[in-house]
Structure 1
Amino acid sequence: MIDTVLSATRPLRARRAGIDTYQQPVVYLRGDCPVCRAEGFQSQAQVEVIGNGRHVLALLHQVQGDWLRHDEIAFSEAAWSLLGAADGAEVDVRHPPVQDSLAPLRAKVHGTRFDYTALRLLMEDVSHGRLSDIHLASLVTVCAGGGLDFDETVALTRAMVDVGERIDWGVSPVMDKHCIGGLPGNRTTLLVVPIVAACGVLMPKTSSRAITSAAGTADAMETLAPVDLDLATMRRVVEREGGCIAWGGTTRISPADDMLIRVERPLSLDSEGLLVASILSKKVAAGSQRVLIDLPVGPLTKVRSAAAAEQLSRSLVAVGAALGIQVRVQRTDGTQPVGRGIGPALEAMDVMAVLERQPDAPADLRERALQIAAGVLEMAGRSAAGAGEALAREVLADGRALAKFAAIREAQGGARQPPRAAHTQPVTAPAAGTVRAIDTRLVARAAKLAGAPRDPAAGATMHVRLGDRVELGQPLYTLHAESAGALQYALSFVRSQLPLVRIGQDGGRSPAP
C-alpha cells in the first residue's frame, strides 16, 4: 500500500498525443497506472495537471493499449497548447479544486436569477477551462428559450468582457460591423473594412472561423493574407493602415464566448441572451465604440421573421447602450446566397472581383457591401445621413478600396493567391423554367461535404439567382473539391435530396425531385 501511494505522487512524463479535441483539453492515462489506481480516477473525470509553472484542467480518458506507458500522460492538442511544455517534461496530476461557480449554476436551474457576481465566477471558470462540457451544456440550456432577462444579459456580457483582454485604441470613433450569419457567401467584411479604412476611419476587425458554415470571414481572408495575428501585430497593422481583418482566436478577447460556442452549436438551442452577449462582448473587448449589425432575414437564416428581427434588434441596441457602445441594426435580404462562391477561396475570389471592378463581379455582393459600408461611414460621422453610399461607391470605383486592401494584406504578412480546386462538377437544371427557390442550408451543406472549409479551395459556385430563366441542362451550380472522393461524396448528397435549386415550369409548377 505504501509503495502504491508513493508511486502515485511521482511525476509523470508528458507526451503529445496529436489528437484534435477542438477546444476541449483532454489527457490520456492508462487505466491500470498507479495514479488512476491511487486517486480513483475514472474516464470522463476532470483532473488538474501541474507542470511548466501552469495548472491545466482537463477531461481524463483512460486507455488500455500499450502505446502509453504507466509513467506517461498524453495530451490532446488543446491540452498541450495550454501546458506549453516539451515532450518528456515532468508533470503532476491531482483532483481539481472545487468550483464555487457551480453553486449559482445549480441555483439558476431551480429558478434563481443570475447576478453579475455569479456570472463573473462562471465566466472566469469557463474561460480557463475549469468546467466540463456537461456543466457548459447545463449553462447553455438554462440560458436558452428566454432563460436570461435583460439585466442578466447585460451582466453576462459584462462578465464575458471582464474575464478576458480588452483593447483601448486611444482614439474615437472605433468602428465595427458584425453579421448574425446563416447566409452562404455573405463575405461583405472583406469589402467594408478597406472602404471604411480608406476614408480615414479606424476599423480593426476580428473575425471567426467557420464552425457550422462552409466558410468564416477569417477562413476567406486567410486565402488572401495571414490572419493569425497576436495583439501586438494587430495593433501595429491597425496603427499603420487604419484597419485589419484578423482571426479573433489568437487573442484572449472574450475567451469565455469561444468555449460556450463550442457546446452551444451542437445543441442547436435558441438563446437570444447568449447570442447578444456573444456578439457584444467581443465588440466591447475589441475596443469598438460604434457597431453596425447586418441581420439577414429569410426562411432558412438564423432570423426568419420580421417580428424576430425586431425583437433581436431591440435587445442588441439596448444591451449595447448599457455597455457604453452604440449599436445600429441593418436588416438585409436572406432569401438566397450572396455572390457566387461558397467556401473560403471561392468567396475570396468574389471579393477580389468586386475590389478590382471586374465586369462580371457579383453585383449583389457589391451592393450589399456598399450599403453596409454606407451605414458604418454615417455612424462614424464621416458622411452625412443618406450620403454614405455615394462616398462608399466613390471609394470603390476610384480604386482607393483596392489599394487599402492591398496595404492591409501586406501589413498582415503579405498577399496570397486563393487556391483552385483540382476537381469540379456542375449540377444542371432537370427542366426548363424559372428559379423559384434556393435552399441556402442544403447548398452550404453540399459545399461542406465537398471539403470546405477544411480544404480552402473546396465549396460551390452558384450560377443562378432567384427569378432567373434556365434551360434544360443549364448549370445551376458547380461543386469544387480537392479530391475525387470528396466530390463524389458531395454529389451523392445532392442526388439524395430535394433539389437544392428549385425550378418552376410554365404555370408555376415545379418538376418532380
Structure 2
Amino acid sequence: MLKIRPVAIDTYPENTAFLPRSDGGYGAEQFQALRKIEICHASNTILATLAIMDDKHLLRPGEIGLGEQAFRRLGLPAGTEVSISQAMPPASLDGVRRKIRGDTLDDAEIASIIRDISRFRYSPMEIAAFLVACAAFMTTQETLALTRAMADVGGKLKWSSPLVVDKHCIGGIPGNRTSMIVVPIVAAHGLIIPKTSSRAITSPSGTADTMEVLANVDISAERMQEIVAKENAVLAWGGRVKLSPADDVLISVERPLRIDTFEQMVASIMSKKLAAGSTHLVIDIPVGPTAKVRNQTEAVRLRKLFEYVASKVGIVVDVVLTDGSQPIGRGVGPVLEARDVMAVLRNDPGAPADLRDRAVMLAGRVLDFDPQLKGGEGHVRAAELLASGAALAAMERLIAAQGPQGVTARPGAFEHEVIAPIDGKVGAIDCHLIARIARLAGAPMEKGAGIDLLCKVGDAIGKGEPLYRIHATSQTGLDFARELAASSSGYDVTA
C-alpha cells in the first residue's frame, strides 16, 4: 500500500504516476514491466503511465506521486492509501489492430474502444494508431457507431422542451464568431438554445474563449439548467459538463497530427450535440480555398454525411454552405472578436457588416425550425430582433446570469502593423495563415492577443498602408507573430 501525493506537474491528457527508483523493493526490470499501472482504492481506480523519479526529495518513502490529471481523476484526498498493480492492455486494442489491417469494425468493437479511451486506458500512441487507421478508411456505419459511442460514455443534458435548437460551424474561418449573435437572437424569440462550446485547439479563439471575455463560461450542468429555464439560452464551455469526453481525448492527439477527416469531424460534432440534448441543428460549412472544406464537391459530401448521421440519431439538421474565402469580421482573437460581437448586437454603425449579415442569416435558419413561423419568415424575424435591441437585451441578461467578468479586457498593448508592399487591391486572404499568426501572438490563451484586420478582399490599398495590426500582451509574443508575418503576411495584394 502506498500513500498518494499530488505532484504539481501538468501531464494532460495522460494520467502519470511517479515512483522513486529505490523505494518499495522493486528492481529496474519490474519498473520497466510496470510501465502502465492500475491504481486502486475501493471503487476508485485509474490507469496511469509510470515515471521513475531519482530525486529522493520529491517523494517520501511509501508514497506514490500523481500528476495533476491523475490526482483529479482519482478523486481522493492526499495521503489516501492505494494499491498498485500491473495494468493489462485493454482487450479493445484487438479492434484497433484489425482497423490497422483495413477491416471494418462493428458497433460493439467501436463502443469498446471509445469506452477504454474515455477511461484513459489508451496511450497517445495507441490513440494515434486508431485515428490514423480510421483516417485511412471508415464507412458511414462506422462513423455512426463512433458518434453514438462517444455520446454514450459522457454526461447528457436533458431539457423539458420538445424543441431544443442549436447552431454549429465546423470552424477554420478566423473571426467567424456568429454563435454569440445567433444565440441571443434566438433566445429573444423564445426558442431554447443551450449552446455549449469547446475552447480553441488550433484556432485563435473558440466561442467559449470569446464569451469568457464577457462572462463566466465554466458552468455546472445544474446551473446551466437554471439559466436556460430563465433566459432560454446559455453560452458555456462544454468541458465542464463532460459532453462526449472521449472526443476531447481524441482531439488532443488528433490536432498535433493535423488529422481532421470528414468522418471524425462529423462524429465529433454530432456526438456532442446528441449529448447536449439538441433536437434541431443548423450546421455552417464555410467553403473556400484556405478553409477546411476547399470546394463544392467536398462540401456536398460532408453535408450528406452530416444528414445521414443526424437522421439516424434523431436530430433534424439544416446544413448551410457559406463563403469561406476570407476571415469574417475584423477581430481575430478573444478580445477583438468580443468587441465585434457586441458592436453588432448594439447596432453600431461601424460594426462589421459581414459578421452581422452572416449571423442574421444563420439565426433566421434556426428560427425557421419554429412551427409558429411561416416558411422563410425566420430571416425577417432575426433581423427585427437584432434591430430592435431585443437581442442585445437578451445577451446582457445572459452575461448577468452567467456572471459578468469584473475586469474589462483590452487588446494587447504590444502592436505591430503589417503593411502593403505595393499599391493595389486585396485579392485574397489566407485564413489558415492569419490564424497561425494570431496564435503566435498569444491567442487564445492571452485574451488580448490577436489580429485587427484593417482591409478585406476587394479593398484598395496603397503601398506602405496597413493591412492589419497584430496585438500581443508581451514582446515575445509580438516577435513570434511578426516573424511569421514577415515571411508571409497572408494577404495577396495585386496591382
Normalized against structure 1, the TM-score is what?
Answer: 0.92
Q: Which deviates more from structure 2 when the two are superposed, residues 121-130 or residues 456-465?
A: 121-130
Matched residue SS, 1:41: helix
Distance 2:118 2:179 in 1: 27
2:338 is aligned, of 344, 348, 362, to 348
Q: Is 1:373–2:335 an aligned residue pair?
A: no
- CA contact under 8 A between 1:43 and 1:62: conserved in structure 2? no
2:152 is aligned, of 162, 166, 169, to 162
Distance 1:32 1:271 in 2: 46
- The 5 Å alignment of 1:86-485 reads 86-145=77-136, 147-415=137-405, 417-485=408-476
Distance 1:52 1:176 in 2: 41
Provide structure 1 residue ranges, at least 5 long, that are not aligned to the other structure: 1-9, 506-513
Deviation at 1:272, TM superposition (A): 2.1
- CA contact under 8 A between 1:342 and 1:459: conserved in structure 2? yes
Distance 1:21 1:276 in 2: 28
Deviation at 1:415, TM superposition (A): 4.9
Q: Is 1:15–2:5 an aligned residue pair?
A: yes
- Aligned partner of 1:509 in structure 2 is none
Matched residue SS, 1:40: helix
Distance 2:34 2:296 in 1: 44
Distance 2:65 2:249 in 1: 22
Matched residue SS, 1:50: strand
- CA contact under 8 A between 2:169 and 2:283: conserved in structure 1? yes
Deviation at 1:358, TM superposition (A): 1.1
Normalized against structure 2, the TM-score is what?
Answer: 0.95
Q: Is 1:84–2:71 an aligned residue pair?
A: no
Matched residue SS, 1:431: coil
Distance 1:296 1:97, change over 3 A: same
- CA contact under 8 A between 1:218 and 1:247: conserved in structure 2? yes
Cα deviation per residue 1:18-42 (whole Å; 9 max; x = unaligned)? 2222222222223333365388123
- The code of the aligned residue for 2:46 comes to V
Distance 1:387 1:39 in 2: 71
Deviation at 1:252, TM superposition (A): 2.3
1:501 is aligned, of 472, 491, 495, to 491
- CA contact under 8 A between 1:29 and 1:73: conserved in structure 2? yes
2:62 is aligned, of 71, 75, 79, to 71
Deviation at 1:204, TM superposition (A): 0.4
- CA contact under 8 A between 1:27 and 1:76: conserved in structure 2? yes
Identity %: 43
Provide structure 2 residue ranges, at least 5 long, that are not aligned to the other structure: none
- CA contact under 8 A between 2:33 and 2:86: conserved in structure 1? no
Distance 1:249 1:299 in 2: 31
Q: Which deviates more from structure 2 when the two are superposed, residues 99-108 or residues 68-77?
A: 68-77
- CA contact under 8 A between 2:192 and 2:232: conserved in structure 1? yes
Cα deviation per residue 1:300-345 (whole Å; 9 max; x = unaligned)? 1111111000000000001100111111110111111111111111
Deviation at 1:475, TM superposition (A): 1.4
